[in-house]
Structure 1
């Protein structure tokens, strides 16, 4: 799932340009495998490797041209 974060000039930022204040990388991530992973995805560990069934979600860095079918949107609160 695309979460709207990418690495720009060595710093992870949201697509809005704000630096990430919250991060939940999987162990060993971000690792920039082959020097080509500059976008972030979120996945549920139980989908990839079933564990204790709690379904925690983690982040992973991926290539920006990877096709992802789901994404997260931010809803602006009305004042």
Structure 2
């Protein structure tokens, strides 16, 4: 197991949109702005002082997974009932 300290990277909504946009362009092979990519990398490699410790990370991820699974199951049940 890694001895690295787990941290939560906090981004603003516009940063998340920019990162999602650049990742999508990279993944589907569309042209992208290199300076925009560099800016995204600077956000993702922020100094430790820019991060927030997240001691509940494992619990939060488990909760999120449970919510996603429940949502999928509910959608599946609804589709079956309608069809």
TM-score by length of 1: 0.19
Higher relative contact order (CA 8 A, sep 6+): 2
The structure whose residues are more often strand, as a share, is 1
The structure whose residues are more often helix, as a share, is 2
Structure with larger Rg: 2
TM-score by length of 2: 0.19
